[in-house]
Every structure is written in C-alpha cells, then in structure tokens.
Amino acid sequence: MDFLSNLALGFDVATTSYNLLFCFIGVLVGTLVGVLPGVGPIATLSVILPFTTLVGSPAASIIMMAGIFYGTQYGGSITSILLKVPGESSSIVTTLDGHALARQGKAGTALSIAAIGSFIAGTVATILIAWLGEPFAQFALKFGPSEYATTILFGFIASAFLTSTDNPLKSLAMILLGVLLSTIGIDLNSGIERFTFNNLNLYDGVPFAILAIGFFGLSEIFYDILTSKKDKPVVAEKVNRLYPTSEELKASTPAIARGTILGSILGILPGIGVTLTSFITYAFEKKLSKTPEKFGKGAIEGVAAPESANNAASQTAFIPLLSLGLPGTAAMALMFGTLMVNGIVPGPQLMTQHPGLFWGLVVSMWIGNFMLLILNLPLVGLWVQILKIPKNILYFIVIVFALAGAYFIENNMFFVLLLIPIVLLALLLKSLGFEMVLLGLGFAMGKLFEENIIRALTISQGDWSIFLNSGISLTMLVCSCILILINKGVLKKWKI
Amino acid sequence: MKELTSGFITILIGSLFLIKSLSYDLGSFSIPGPGMFPSLISTALILVGFKILLNGFLK
C-alpha cells in the first residue's frame, strides 16, 4: 500500500462516528486537564488507562488517550496566558511572555497565536509520523536482541540524564526500581515465580495500570493535598481582541516554523519530553532573536515557539513507540500500557498487523488538533470559569475514579489494597525528590529489557561482546557514554 | 540530610531485592537463571544509592 492509500485507510478509521466521539472526548478531557493545575496528563492517563478496555475498540482507546495527551498542551496555554497559572508543566515557559502580553491587553493575540501555532505544529507532526513511521518500522526489523537491549539502555540513560538536570542519579534509581518491579511474577524463561511471596495474585506480576494509578495518579494528588497551600483567587486578564493583526502573524510565523521543527526533532528523541522541549525552544528563540530584551516582557515569539514545539513533540513522541515499540517518555509508557491492555503489541509489526489502528491514530491526531482549535478559542471564557471548581471536589472525583479503575482491572480487591503500600512508598520517594514518572518507564520497558539481554547472552553463549558487535548497538552504547560524560562535565573540561 | 536519606532508602530497596534475587538460581552468563537479571539490576541500584549517599556526604 502506498502513502496515499494508507492515509485514506486512516481517514476511514478515524472518521467513523465511534472514533470521532472518542477523539472528541480525548481532546475535551485533555484541555480540561491542561487548564486545571494539580492534575497533570500523566496522572489522568494513568487513572483512565484501566477504563480503556471498556471502550471495546483498541483504535478508539488509543485515539482517546492520545487526544488527552496532546489536548493538555493546548489547555495548558490558556491558564498560563490569562492567569499566569500553568495548568501543565510544559506551559510554564508560556507564562513568561503570554501573561505579559495579556497584561498589555493582548490576551486574545497570545491565545490565538498559541492555538494557531499548536495546530500548525500538530499538522506537521502528523505528516511526520505518517512519513517516518514506515521507514522507522523497516529499520526496526534489523533489530536483534542486542540492538533492542542497548536501545532500551540508551532510552533509560537519556531519560535519567535529560529529564532531571539537578539529580540524574535519583532518576536513574527510579528507572532501576521500575525495572526491578517489572520482574515480579513468573519468569517466562524458567517458569519460576519471583518476588511474589507465594501470593497467587502476583503470579502475573503487578498490572501496569495499578502501578501507574499508585505512583503517578494517587500519589500526585495526595502529595499535592499534603503540601499545597490555600488556592489563590482566580483573577483572569480580559480577552479583548481574539485574532492577531497581520504584523503579529508575520512576527510569529518564523517562530512557529522553528518551534515546529525543533519540537518535532526533540519529540522523537527518548527522554526529552514536552516540558524540556518547550524550555529548549524558548531559549533557542531568545538566542536567535534580534531583540532578546523583549523576551519575558511580552514577545509574541516567546509564546509562538514553545507552544508550537510542545505540541509537535507530544505527537512525534509516538514515532518510536509505534514503529519500534519503545516508549521514550513516561506518557508514552502509558500509551504503551494502553495498547498492551487492549491486546495490541506495539512494535515494527504494528503497521502490518494493525494498519487501521496505526493510520487511524495518525489521522485522528490531525482531526483532534482541528477540534482543539475550534474548542479552544471561542470557549476561552468557559475554560477560565472551570478553574473556579474547588480542588477538593476535583480530587475527590479523581480518587474515586482511580479506586474504581484499580478494582476494575482484575475485579480483584487485592490490587486496590496493593495501592496502599504503593502510594506510601511513592509519597516517601517523592518527598525525597525522586522523579516518579521515570519509574513507569523502567517498569514498562523492564520485561523487554530482560528478555533481550537474556536472549542476546544465550545466543552469544555468555559473551558480552555481542553488545559491541553490531553497528546499532555500538552506536547506542557510545551515545549513552557521551550522555554520561556530558553530564559529568568531562567534555567541557576537554573543551569539546 | 535529604540526600543521605535518599541514598539510604535506595540502598535499602536495592539490598532487599538483591537478597531475594540471590535466593533464585543465578545460572551462568551463557544460560542465565531467573535470579541473574534482578541481581544485576539490584546491584546497580545499590551502587547508585551509594553514589547518592556519597554526594550527600560531600555536600
């Protein structure tokens, strides 16, 4: 099948009324989550994950989950600009210039540029996924166990060193703990149960959804309840003129283009994530600008570039997941989990075994972006009103959903009770400054990591040099070493 | 203090996993047993914990 017939298939799948409905639900929930501070996309995705099996269609499930994820990037910009309250961490950087513009009476301009930039970036990213998905999948077919193991290792190291710049060791510890937790249950190679303490409920391991609900969903909420101060009253800047002038459009077009390109590239790389992407893009845009002094005081480029970049990155992050079966970030690990609970194994075979799902998802992203454009601009006032909902009510709803979801996974009370030690451990680790989201990445990739290391060692009869024999695995190991050295500042000392 | 506690907790978790992993058959590198992989990972976790602890002491 060629590119156009693939896209036609995608349109066929994405435009069924059922998939359109779930795409709409996804972007609506995503915008809501983006608007509300405290409940992030990771927490939301983890709470909703168990319910995706109720949807009855893997395509509709992943379309909805993807919609939530990229929808949060749109929603986050609204409160960042109007209230200086970033609903989502990737929108923190938008508050700098977005809110400054709003205070100058240009809230509408900032909002519309953010939405237009996000839409353009989303469209370009969708085309990139469609264009790069197949070559990536073809490339992935060259992967043997040693290549998979070293690529996963590179993903771990990149995530540990790029996600947390202040203490990558703690991030690495969380990834390792996630990998260890993934070994709970029956070992597929030997048939021997590990770390189950003879508890039958744990023979199949800890379900990913339980771990996600405990470590990302409930722990986030309880941590916020325990540490946050009283809510400040919501004071929104007024939105006078909604559409930008031709000068403003002219000024923001190159920034949108640069943000889209940079965001698309950074999104594919493992570990970077949307938050870091928006910060990198902002810094890059400021460096390129002829008037860097305007940044932070209401430069439209300071809104256009990061908002385009975070949306592009949130979509191109799907490329390694869908084509290689390797999630690069915690959010993608949750997408990985969604596909798994719906009986779909992400990887190079996804495109040939489930072409409808792959291309349907790609096209749905474009449709979802269009829905967001329509949803966001005219309904700005409504989204601001939603911020007035007391946090307590919101948290109560999320906790009820999380507990119901935990029970629903296996219809087993054991897993609901298992949430107690998980949440307590998560709260302890979180209070010590550990990065919870990386644990999910380690857990999602742990089994695959073990399987490929064991397989590679069995093939080579215990010779570890198998990891150095192929070009791909050697490159991955060299890249991992470079990342560690960069972090150590060694390259700086050598003046490289 | 926070770093010291973090390092200690990391070492503790790693040690608990390592002790249990060693109770399973390790096998050999050519035919790895069920205990091999968790032992390697928990050892790595303990080492990372020691480094966090060391950084905490040096601060």
* Signed CA dihedral, B52, B53, B55, B59: sign only: positive
Whole-angstrom distance, CA of residue A380 vs CA of residue A31: 11
Higher pLDDT, A496 or A458: A458
ipTM summary value: 0.96
Asked whether the beta carbons of A23 and A67 are under 8 A apart, the reply is yes
Q: What contacts B20, CB < 8 A, 6 or more positions away?
A: A194, A195, B38
Relative orientation angle of helices A413-431 and A391-410, to the nearest 10 degrees: 130
Q: What is the mean pLDDT of chain A?
A: 83
Q: Give the least confident one: A11-25, A90-104, A226-240.
A: A226-240
Q: Which residue of A has its CA nearest to B38?
A: A180
The per-residue pLDDT for B2 is 85
Contact B52 A176 (CB under 8 A): no
Q: What is the CA radius of gyration of chain A?
A: 22
A169 contact B CB<8A: yes
Q: How far is A109 from chain B (nearest CA, A)?
A: 45
Between the alpha carbon of residue A381 and those of residues A25, A185, A236, the distances in Å are 20, 50, 9
Torsion angle of the four alpha carbons A401, A404, A405, A409, in this order, in degrees rounded to the nearest 10: 180
A393 contact B CB<8A: no
What's the longest Cα–Cα distance across chain B? Answer: 43
Please write the tens of the pLDDT for every residue from A125-167.
Answer: 888 887 887 787 777 777 888 888 898 888 888 878 776 656 8
Q: How confident is the model at residue A23 (pLDDT cuts 50, 70, 90)?
A: very high
Whole-angstrom distance, CA of residue A422 vs CA of residue A93: 32
Contact B55 A169 (CB under 8 A): yes
Closest CA to A452 of A206, A210, A154: A154
**Is pLDDT at A444 greater than 60 in this prediction?**
yes
**Is pLDDT at A1 greater than 60 in this prediction?**
no
A276 contact B CB<8A: no
B27 conformational bin, left if phi > 0, alpha if psi -120 to 50, beta if neither: left
A427 contact B CB<8A: no
Q: Which of A192, A434, A458 shows the shortest C-beta gap to B30?
A: A458
**Is pLDDT at A298 greater than 50 in this prediction?**
yes
Q: Which residue of B has its CA nearest to A182?
A: B38
Please write the tens of the pLDDT for every residue from A228-282.
Answer: 765 555 555 566 666 778 888 888 889 999 999 988 888 887 666 777 788 888 8
Provide the 10 A C-beta neighbour count for residue A134: 17
Asked whether the beta carbons of B59 and B3 are under 8 A apart, the reply is yes
Higher pLDDT, A100 or A428: A428
Q: Which of A169, A429, A453 shows the shortest C-beta gap to B48?
A: A169
pTM of the model: 0.79
A465 contact B CB<8A: no
Q: Give the least confident one: A22-31, A232-241, A258-267, A459-468.
A: A232-241
Please write the tens of the pLDDT for every residue from A110-122.
Answer: 888 888 888 898 8
A257 contact B CB<8A: no
What number of C-beta contacts closer than 8 Å exist between A and B?
A: 75
The per-residue pLDDT for A236 is 55
**Is pLDDT at A496 greater than 50 in this prediction?**
no
Closest CA to A398 of A225, A178, A207: A225
Q: What contacts A209, CB < 8 A, 6 or more positions away?
A: A46, A49, A50, A337, A341, A405, A406, A409
Please write the tens of the pLDDT for every residue from B1-37.
Answer: 888 999 999 999 999 999 999 999 888 888 888 899 9
Highest mean pLDDT among A32-41, A456-465, B47-56: B47-56
Locus of tokens 């002829």: A290
Q: What is the mean pLDDT of residues A37-43?
A: 73
Contact A183 B37 (CB under 8 A): yes
Higher pLDDT, A189 or A193: A193
C-alpha A328 chain-centroid distance: 9
Tell me the percentage of chain A whose pLDDT exceeds 90.
Answer: 13
The per-residue pLDDT for A229 is 62
